Structure 1
């Protein structure tokens, strides 16, 4: 389904489905920011209040964690957005 990290192929090699009709836009990125950001931010806030570590230690843990979660969830998130559009027949004309 993907030609690169996030670039979607024009057509499915197996069934010939035309992916050019679908447009996920930034939908996946918005969901990934919420999913990856919320636990890291609230976890960092809890650790800061409970243990008061130095800020460099917080950044050394939180930044790679949110970066890794974001990159790891972006491709599955985009795949889910495409699957939802396919299921709901988005991009198809209802004329006739």
Structure 2
């Protein structure tokens, strides 16, 4: 659910740029299908779009963890930070 106030992070412009590029690329793939291009060409291009979207998602999630989670958790003594730091580290494998 979205909040009433804007929720903007430093990485959002990069994510928007990545998604717009993927959007344009996806439109070109539709054209490739309509033109009867080979399945190999289509699969390669779809893979590239999929990777771009996955990277945008990964960037968004990492940014959220680095900023929103840190904001909620606040300053913790070093001994109490271990679970938070481990959680952030393991999400890089999503």
TM over 0.5: no
TM-score range, shorter chain: 0.3 to 0.5
Q: TM-score, normalised by structure 1?
A: 0.35
Q: Which is helix-richer, 1 or 2?
A: 2
Q: TM-score, normalised by structure 2?
A: 0.36
